Structure 1
Amino acid sequence: MARLFGTDGVRGLANAELTPELAMAVAASAARVLAAHDRSHRPVAVVGRDPRASGEMLDAAVVAGLTSAGADVRRAGVLPTPAVAHLVADTGADLGVVISASHNPMPDNGIKLFAEGGHKLPDGIEDEIEQELDRPGTRPTGAEIGRVTALEGAVDRYVDHLLTAAPQRLAGLRVVVDCANGAASEAAPVAYRRAGAEVVAINASPNGININEECGSTHIDGLRAAVVEHGADLGIAHDGDADRCLAVNAAGDEVDGDEILAVLALAMADAGELAERTVVATVMSNLGLHLAMREHGLQLRTTAVGDRYVLDELYAGGYSLGGEQSGHLVLPGHATTGDGLLTALRLMGRMAATGKSLAELAGVMQRLPQVLVNVRVADKAAVVESRQVATAVADVETELGEKGRVLLRPSGTEQLVRVMVEAPDQETAQAAADRLAGVVSAAS
């Protein structure tokens, strides 16, 4: 049987794969496991969600599951994922539950759990929760049943935290923010206005159905047009649960997560905040980021793809900045998970502090053309061990030299091998990727 918890909680098609019965069982099991680890008090959980329609149903199921196992619930309502993580720590709760499928289409939903302090739940605890799902537990009765209260002022508490973590005033900046009709729809405009920026909010009217629909960080064409139309200094794009941030400069050109990472790395290095003068990114980060960090005397450590691996490396090395090309950035000194609003405030703060445009700041990194080809194979393990493939990769690497890069990565879930090539120009990258894809296909 496949593991229930993926790299980012439990996720699936709402009411088909992720049913209210499953949501209730996961929540009840989580409460029982927490209670078993600490019997000094009854567990307290903060529950928040994004605005997709199925979240109403799943929220009710999660709350029922928690209280049926004797946990008290503080209901936060619609709130970004990083806000729930912060409020778990801020209120001294034992557990955080976020009902969201992030950037996924509206029909999907998910359940993400945070441990005490707002940290990602350890794999071992997730395994215990999964093992407890089908075991009948003793249900409390009477006064031992958990109680439910509203967590008042949740958005304001979160915004207060953001403004403490990113105190630079943004007076004089005009920003268009695309809220993806998601969890950032209230919090992001409030945070940016309170920081002093002039804010134009788009896709900030969630109706339960329109989350991520041709908007947000996965569809930025509308943001590009709005930035130019309003003569804004920049645009910010969030995803459905607001743990990501991509940007658009004044000309409407995209600034991706790697470029934002480069801007923040230099800002933190200048301020003496970049621990060990080191940045953490994944193996899929653009070669341009590697070259930019090297040019400025900074170290770049790479991990496997996935924010959990970035987090692991950040904590293991005591580093202070990491992220992914997707715009999922983590600043462990201020947040326990990716926080798109914090990232945006820090990015705009750099603009305000230096008086430079976003295009000028992002120009510190030259993004190389990157081509990714997914090759379906019969046996991905055979491809990884193939001498023919290794020789072809070595040949391309020799041809590209320091001006390019090759990465072959087997899919973790399918019989696919991902061929990624970066080169000084698109034609060279495409030709090399196609060539290697042919070798990979033949070797399987």
Structure 2
Amino acid sequence: MTSTFVAAGPFAGQKPGTSGLRKKTAEFMRPGYLECFVQAVFDAIGGVSGKVLVLGGDGRYFGRQAAETILRMAAAGGAARVIVGRGAILSTPAASHLIRLNAADGGLILSASHNPGGPDGDFGVKYNIANGGPAPEAVTAAIHAATERVTGYHIAGAPAPDLDRIGESRLDGMVVQVVDPVTDYAALMERLVDFDAIRALVAGGFRMRFDAMSAVTGPYAVEILEHRIGFAPGTVVNAVPEPDFGGHHPDPNPAHARDLWDELMGPDAPDFGAASDGDGDRNMILGRGVYVSPSDSLAVIAANAHLCKGYAGGIRGIARSMPTSAAADRVAAHLGVDLHETPTGWKFFGTLLDAGRATICGEESFGTGSDHVREKDGLWAVLIWLNILAARGKGVAEVLDGHWRQFGRNYYSRHDYEALPVAAAEAVMAGLRAALPGLPGRVVAGMTVTAADDFAYRDPVDGSSSAGQGLRVAFEGGARIVLRLSGTGTEGATLRLYLDRMEDDPDRMAQDPQEALAPLIAAAEDLAGIARLTGRAVPDVIT
């Protein structure tokens, strides 16, 4: 085995966040930048000698080059085997499944999720642990510490093998196993979802549209929806992954998946619409003339999971991120299972899933999943919805209406203020944080504050603690606002405002959400002064 040590680094600012390290593509392409971060990952996990790793990503610009570099570094570190998706392609949930299926020691996912790609876009590297899930805070802290002391990296002198050719080859002493990125994942979906029931739905004339947003789920959706289930060719649009996602911002929401939205709200709308994001872990669900909020989607999936063959025995618990609406809480109470409220970030669900304390998980940022992997899974959510519609024999609007009449409706919305000056965003957070102790009992926009805090979490399984996870203000009647800074952007700061109000009167469940939430929107501005402190009179994105 021949390898070289190249002196480089350390580089400032390589602290991984909730979803790994995300930076501008050009920064990752700086000489030694990617390599030093990957070396820090290897150092933090005790080296890779003798280990089995999974490697792949969403196909964005620089992904293949990065994968080839990482393979050469893994070989230099003495890894036994690296399982890599053909063309360096793997959706994030498929990568999680491969880690678990092969009992791998971990994996590296090359993605910046829903962020734009291309030479002027974003790139990212995330390390997932042996359970298939994102590295917990203790591991990311160790990686960050390693980035601050790294002095260079080890890399094999031999070139990486052809990543377009399925099969095994050797890179120095390491086995490189190139696999079809779709096959194992599709087989898993067939075990969880009743494809025959969905085929019968299709045979009855049911139509759908899936927008892959020129991102990684295109090949998965074509194989599963069109080839295996039988939807008409062309059901999946923007199906070919592109290095710049075809110029799309691959974030499946009403703003960035506008063509899909317009089609589903149009006069000749199909029965069902869905979209997924850059790396395949997020989803948006639409029906003819109706949008399903991520919080409602989580609640409906949890309430109906027993209709899907992989969950026929029921579920053991539901976990949701703190900013997600309380809609799932009432489902958990109805089912007699535990409800867990965690910070934002899928890694916080991992211990609950591993311990068998949760089956269905979700977060407000268009992410839903279950214990089949340790990541959120966009295409899984789409297939579960199709299974539910087939079993219920109803459309999306009917399913939603029936759910609200049984459990009540949570009017819910997220307002995103993107690429803010960091100082302005931090001023908003600091101002509200300072005001929290004096808020209970105060009347704001005609509503009385009952509680206010900065959310802190203690994991019920491993006892780990996470503080400063979002500012919460609750009002009489269960309404609340939440304010937090997002860690997924690469430019400026993204401020997210979450608004949640429960309505149990069936005659008042058909309002426009922004109208229903108008008092909370006014209260949020009164308390946090977003427009006053940032100069942004309206959000950049409303979902």
Same fold (TM over 0.5): yes
Q: Which moved more, 1:389-398 or 1:209-218?
A: 389-398
Tell whether 2:295 aligns with 1:258: yes
Residue aligning to 2:359 = 320
CA positional deviation for 1:398? 5.6
Aligned residues of 2:76 and 2:154 also touching (Cα < 8 A): no
Task: Say which SS state the counterpart of residue 359 (structure 1) adopts.
Answer: helix
CA positional deviation for 1:112? 1.2
Residue aligning to 1:208 = 243
Aligned residues of 1:11 and 1:18 also touching (Cα < 8 A): no
Tell whether 2:280 aligns with 1:280: no
Aligned-partner Cα distance in 1 for 2:321–2:242? 35
Aligned partner of 1:396 among 447, 457, 463: 447
Q: How many aligned positions are there?
A: 435
Tell whether 2:208 aligns with 1:187: no
Letter in 2 for 1:175: M
Residue aligning to 2:342 = 303
Aligned partner of 1:368 among 411, 419, 427: 411
Residue aligning to 1:162 = 189
CA positional deviation for 1:159? 0.9
Aligned residues of 1:245 and 1:340 also touching (Cα < 8 A): yes
Aligned residues of 1:392 and 1:439 also touching (Cα < 8 A): no
Q: Aligned in 2, Cα 1:353/1:439: closer, same or farther, shift over 3 Å?
A: closer
Q: Which moved more, 1:409-418 or 1:220-229?
A: 409-418
Aligned-partner Cα distance in 2 for 1:110–1:416? 18
Please tell me the root mean square deviation across aligned C-alpha atoms, in Å: 3.6
Q: Aligned in 2, Cα 1:432/1:132: closer, same or farther, shift over 3 Å?
A: closer
Counting only pairs closer than 5 Å after superposition, residues 70-85 of structure 1 correspond to structure 2 as: 70-71=78-79, 72-76=81-85, 77-85=88-96
Q: Which moved more, 1:110-119 or 1:340-349?
A: 110-119
**CA deviation string 1:59-86 (max 9, x = no partner):** 2222222222222333212121111111
Q: Which moved more, 1:401-410 or 1:10-19?
A: 401-410
Q: Aligned in 2, Cα 1:331/1:20: closer, same or farther, shift over 3 Å?
A: farther
Q: Which moved more, 1:234-243 or 1:139-148?
A: 139-148
Aligned residues of 1:183 and 1:240 also touching (Cα < 8 A): yes
> Which structure is higher in helix share?
1
**CA deviation string 1:254-312 (max 9, x = no partner):** 2122122111111135644211xx32212222344545655676654322222223444
Residue aligning to 1:428 = 519
CA positional deviation for 1:222? 1.0
CA positional deviation for 1:165? 2.2
Task: Say which SS state the counterpart of residue 217 (structure 1) adopts.
Answer: coil
Residue aligning to 1:103 = 114
Q: Aligned in 2, Cα 1:309/1:91: closer, same or farther, shift over 3 Å?
A: closer
CA positional deviation for 1:358? 1.5
Tell whether 2:36 aligns with 1:21: no
Q: Aligned in 2, Cα 1:430/1:89: closer, same or farther, shift over 3 Å?
A: closer
**CA deviation string 1:107-161 (max 9, x = no partner):** 1010111222423334333344444441567878999945353423331122111
CA positional deviation for 1:43? 1.8
Aligned-partner Cα distance in 1 for 2:530–2:365? 29
CA positional deviation for 1:408? 4.4
Question: In percent, how many aligned pairs have the same letter?
Answer: 22
Q: Aligned in 2, Cα 1:13/1:377: closer, same or farther, shift over 3 Å?
A: closer
Task: Say which SS state the counterpart of residue 110 (structure 1) adopts.
Answer: strand
Letter in 2 for 1:406: R
Residue aligning to 1:65 = 73
Aligned residues of 1:286 and 1:367 also touching (Cα < 8 A): yes
Aligned residues of 2:57 and 2:89 also touching (Cα < 8 A): yes
Aligned residues of 2:429 and 2:483 also touching (Cα < 8 A): no
Task: Say which SS state the counterpart of residue 286 (structure 1) adopts.
Answer: coil
Aligned-partner Cα distance in 2 for 1:207–1:417? 29
Aligned residues of 2:428 and 2:530 also touching (Cα < 8 A): no
Q: Where do 5+ consecutive residues of structure 1 fail to align?
A: none
Aligned residues of 1:95 and 1:115 also touching (Cα < 8 A): yes
Residue aligning to 1:340 = 378
Letter in 1 for 2:390: A
> Which structure is higher in strand share?
2
Q: Which moved more, 1:151-160 or 1:4-13?
A: 151-160
Q: Aligned in 2, Cα 1:294/1:370: closer, same or farther, shift over 3 Å?
A: farther
Aligned residues of 1:162 and 1:342 also touching (Cα < 8 A): yes
Tell whether 2:129 aligns with 1:115: yes
